């Protein structure tokens, strides 16, 4: 299933806020992300592990390639559909932005005090005569004196309030728990608790500048940081999240900056529904559908008779793809007379769904068993 993505839309599958609150059970496969043309994006992949992703545009082929950056060594692996690394618990991506970006005249910008990457990008946005956008997509070529990158290995945070992240406040030190790598001249001392990756200090970067970072669309792991950006070396051998605010990161210059104003944001989600429930002769049959855009994993389903939860039936569905359904047939011990039967998909609210679609997770019915 490949969705048609309208121009100017940033598609967000889950929020970074969701990711740092715990392992998410919703996934978007790479096959459902368009990669023809210049597609901007970033995210994290998982089947058994996370890893930052970098979207690289190849103008000669007019296509975008996605790389996974690995936590164990800072290396990269190109991702292909169905290769075991292509399920994204968090990912945001645009439509084809070919011809939509605006190149910033860097010579016309006075160097910001301190020369921080964020300040350069904010100055570039301010330079352009643009209507204000909630998010700006970025492609940047940078050169560093030294650089710290981080790569997520596994973000296992508190699982509370999974369906209500509007007021969630992820820890400001979230990056402290990630694997850090240091790049710089070989004659410099590597900071404590960091692995040295060499002197590859030219990085091609892709990311987003979010005007409202507290919303958790892209930038929430670091409080009040508008910029979230991933990068890769020219050889594509090393990659990760650029920890540009780290005291051991020192930017020399930006050689190229493209800005893509994004005016619409489309939130992708799952939508679990229980339907087609019937009962006859001690057997209840029903269908569980995923009517949303994201695949779900580890979906639990409770079958409860007469509100007796201690004796409920329970089934677990390891995976339910978007726009697919699974039929169930469950044997019940039912005494004669009328009974109340309820079937609940995701009874513990582990699946992140919009509140507007959660009502169909539950189906109640009165059944009768003859004498």
pTM over 0.75: yes
Sort 196 into a burial class: Cβ within 10 Å, 0-12 / 13-18 / 19+.
Answer: middle
pLDDT tens sequence across 143-168: 999 999 999 876 444 333 344 444 44
Domains in the chain with CATH codes: 9-267 (3.30.1330.80), 269-369 (2.60.40.10)
At 46 the pLDDT is 72
SS3 172: coil
Residues recorded for the chain: 371
- Average pLDDT of span 53-60: 96
Average pLDDT, the chain: 89
Cβ atoms within 10 A of the Cβ of 122, count? 16
Lowest mean pLDDT among 92-101, 114-123, 164-173, 210-219: 164-173
pLDDT tens sequence across 246-277: 999 999 999 999 999 999 999 999 999 999 99
At 51 the pLDDT is 86
């Amino acid at each position: 299933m490949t969705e048609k993505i309208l121009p100017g839309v940033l598609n967000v599958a889950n929020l970074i806020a969701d990711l740092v609150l715990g392992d998410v059970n919703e996934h978007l496969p790479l096959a459902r992300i368009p990669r023809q043309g210049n597609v901007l994006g970033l995210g994290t992949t998982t089947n058994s592990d996370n890893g930052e992703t970098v979207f690289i545009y190849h103008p000669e082929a007019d296509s975008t390639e996605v790389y996974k950056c690995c936590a164990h060594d800072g290396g990269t692996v190109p991702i292909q559909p169905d290769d075991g690394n292509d399920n994204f618990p968090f990912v945001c991506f645009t439509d084809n932005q070919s011809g939509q970006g605006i190149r910033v005249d860097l010579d016309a910008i006075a160097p910001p005090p301190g020369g921080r990457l964020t300040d350069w990008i904010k100055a570039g946005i301010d330079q352009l005569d643009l209507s204000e956008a909630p998010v700006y997509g970025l492609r940047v070529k940078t050169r560093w004196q030294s650089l710290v990158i981080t790569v997520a290995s596994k973000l296992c945070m508190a699982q509370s309030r999974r369906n209500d992240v509007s007021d969630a406040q992820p820890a400001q030190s979230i990056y402290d728990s990630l694997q850090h790598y240091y790049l710089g001249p070989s004659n410099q001392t590597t900071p404590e608790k960091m692995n040295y990756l060499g002197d590859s200090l030219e990085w091609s970067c892709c990311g987003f500048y979010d005007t409202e970072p507290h919303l958790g669309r892209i930038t929430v792991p670091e409080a009040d940081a508008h910029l979230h950006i991933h990068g890769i070396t020219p050889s594509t051998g090393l990659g990760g999240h650029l920890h540009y605010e780290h005291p051991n990161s020192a930017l020399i210059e930006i050689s190229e900056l493209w800005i893509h104003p994004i005016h619409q944001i489309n939130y992708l989600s799952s939508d679990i529904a229980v339907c087609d429930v019937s009962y006859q002769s001690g057997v209840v049959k029903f269908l569980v559908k995923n009517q949303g855009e994201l695949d779900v994993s580890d979906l639990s389903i409770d079958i409860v008779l007469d509100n007796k939860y201690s004796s409920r039936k329970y089934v677990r569905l390891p995976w339910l793809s978007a726009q697919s359904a699974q039929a169930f047939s469950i044997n019940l011990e039912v005494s004669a007379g009328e009974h109340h039967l309820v079937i609940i998909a995701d009874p513990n609210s582990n699946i992140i769904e919009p509140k507007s679609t959660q009502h169909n997770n539950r189906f109640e019915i009165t059944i009768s068993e003859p004498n």
